[in-house]
């Protein structure tokens, strides 16, 4: 079950251990570039990615949540101040809701981490072919500190933290199989 | 616990014009600058990977990464034996 996003700075699980599993090529690229790759959500449309599944499920089953999701996306400078009310009404119009979600998704990028106190045998298998793989372990707090381009904004939606310019923002969402996280 | 179903943390970035902020932008996604020394707490090599692989990864980290000891996967530890870490 998808849980509502929170402000990056307010996500209070700083000590949560998070992992990424990768092959040597990706690891070298990560270190040399000093950059993390955020995948464009629209690109994931044909895959079985969890994010995409959650969004689609949201659209069909819980239109009010999808509307809330949209409102967060669109509540940025340059959009009308009543955008949240406008989008809130989309919940009653599924076609319009879906169209708008599709439009907004083109501007959304995600970076996924696996949260666990321990290594995962399953993740090694999923993300590494053969046995020549690498896992980096971080924490939510470290991730926040490392993406030090973010700064708090006070003028608009509570769920967002701006990054460098007015059009971009960043937040962390938390997903758990039990839905009770 | 190593076999438990994984939970997930996602960082979501919304950018209508990422090229205004980031230098590496493609249709597939965006590279966001990140301080590796802040990010990386530990580095592990996969279970059953050969020794030369661990040594090579350590060399790569020494050359390009923050100062970290590359550890073997804890899944390689044998019951009753010494912990490999």
pLDDT recorded at residue A76: 59
Whether residue B4 has pLDDT greater than 70? no
Alpha helices in chain B, H assignment, sequence order: 36-39, 51-64
Q: Looking at the complex, report in whole angstroms how far the Cα of residue A24 sits from the nearest Cα belonging to chain B.
A: 8
- Minimal Cα distance from A18: which residue of B? B9
Closest CA to A107 of B19, B64, B58: B19
A3 domain-assigned: no
pLDDT > 80? residue A161: no
Of B21, B24, B44, the CB nearest to A168: B21
Which of A31, A109, A171 minimises the CB distance to B64?
A31
Domain residues for the domain of A38 are 15-141
| Residues of A with Cβ-Cβ distance to B2 under 8 angstroms | 118-121
- Residue B71: which residues within 8 A CB-CB, separation 6 or more? B42, B43, B44, B45, B84, B85
CA distances from A61 to A173, A178, B68 (A): 19, 18, 46
Domain boundaries along the sequence of chain B: 18-76
Query: Residue A119: its pLDDT value, please?
Result: 84
Instruction: List residues bridging with B10 in a β-sheet.
Output: A112, A173
**Contact at CB, A109 and B53, closer than 8 angstroms:** no
The nearest alpha carbon in chain A to B72 belongs to A134
Residue A8, domain member (yes or no) = no
d(CA A21, nearest CA chain B) in Å: 9
- CA dist A146 and B3 (Å) reads 29
Q: Which residues contact A153 (CB under 8 A, 6 or more apart)?
A: A160, A161, A162, A169
Tens digit of each residue's pLDDT (9 = 90 or more) over A96-121: 777 776 666 677 777 878 888 888 88
Is the Cβ of A60 closer than 8 Å to some Cβ of chain B?
no
Interface membership of A167 toward B (CB under 8 Å) = yes
Q: How many domains are there within chain A?
A: 1
Please, what is the average pLDDT of chain B? 81
Rounded to an integer, what is the distance from CA B57 to the centroid of its chain? 11
- Give the residue among A144, A121, A37, A58 at the shortest CA–CA distance from B6: A121
Tell which residue, A172, A149, A147, has the closest CA to residue A160: A172
Taking CA atoms, what residue in B is nearest to A164?
Answer: B21
Minimal Cβ distance to A138: which of B6, B29, B40: B40
User: Which residues of chain B have a CB within 8 Å of the CB of A171?
Assistant: 11-12
Helices within A75-179 (DSSP H only): 83-90, 94-105, 121-127, 140-146
Closest residue of B to A178, CA-based? B7
Q: Which residue has the tokens 């696996």?
A: A114
Q: How confident is the model at residue B45 (pLDDT cuts 50, 70, 90)?
A: very high
How many CB pairs below 8 Å do chains A and B form together?
232
Please give the pLDDT value at position B38.
92
Torsion of CA B53, B59, B64, B69, to 10 degrees: 90
CB atoms A108 and B45 under 8 Å = no
What is the rounded distance in angstroms from the CA atom of residue A178 to the CA atom of residue A153? 32
Q: Which residues contact A22 (CB under 8 A, 6 or more apart)?
A: A30, A127, A128, A133, A134, A135, A136
Position B55 scores a pLDDT of 97
A78 — pLDDT class (breaks 50, 70, 90): low
């Amino acid at each position: 079950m998808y849980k509502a996003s929170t402000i990056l700075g307010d996500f209070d699980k700083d000590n949560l251990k998070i992992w990424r599993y990768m092959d040597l090529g990706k690891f070298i690229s990560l270190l040399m570039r000093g950059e993390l790759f955020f995948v464009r959500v629209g690109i994931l449309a044909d895959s079985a990615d969890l994010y995409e599944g959650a969004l689609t499920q949201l659209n069909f089953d819980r239109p009010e949540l999808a509307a809330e999701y949209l409102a967060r996306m669109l509540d940025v400078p340059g959009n009308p101040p009543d955008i949240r009310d406008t989008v809130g009404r989309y919940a009653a119009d599924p076609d319009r809701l879906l169209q708008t979600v599709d439009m907004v998704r083109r501007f959304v990028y995600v970076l996924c981490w696996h949260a666990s106190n321990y290594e995962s045998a399953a993740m090694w298998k999923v993300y590494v072919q053969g046995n020549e793989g690498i896992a980096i372990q971080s924490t939510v707090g470290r991730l926040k500190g490392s993406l030090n381009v973010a700064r708090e904004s006070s003028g608009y939606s509570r769920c967002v933290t701006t990054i460098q310019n007015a059009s971009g923002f960043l937040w962390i969402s938390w997903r758990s199989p039990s839905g009770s996280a | 616990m190593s076999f438990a179903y994984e939970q997930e943390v996602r960082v979501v970035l919304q950018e209508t014009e990422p090229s205004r902020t980031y230098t590496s932008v493609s249709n597939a996604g965006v590279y966001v600058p990140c301080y590796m020394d802040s990010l990386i707490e530990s580095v592990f090599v996969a279970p059953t990977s050969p020794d030369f692989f661990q040594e090579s990864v350590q060399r790569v980290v020494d050359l390009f990464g923050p100062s970290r000891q590359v550890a073997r996967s804890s899944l390689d530890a044998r019951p009753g034996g010494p912990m490999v870490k």
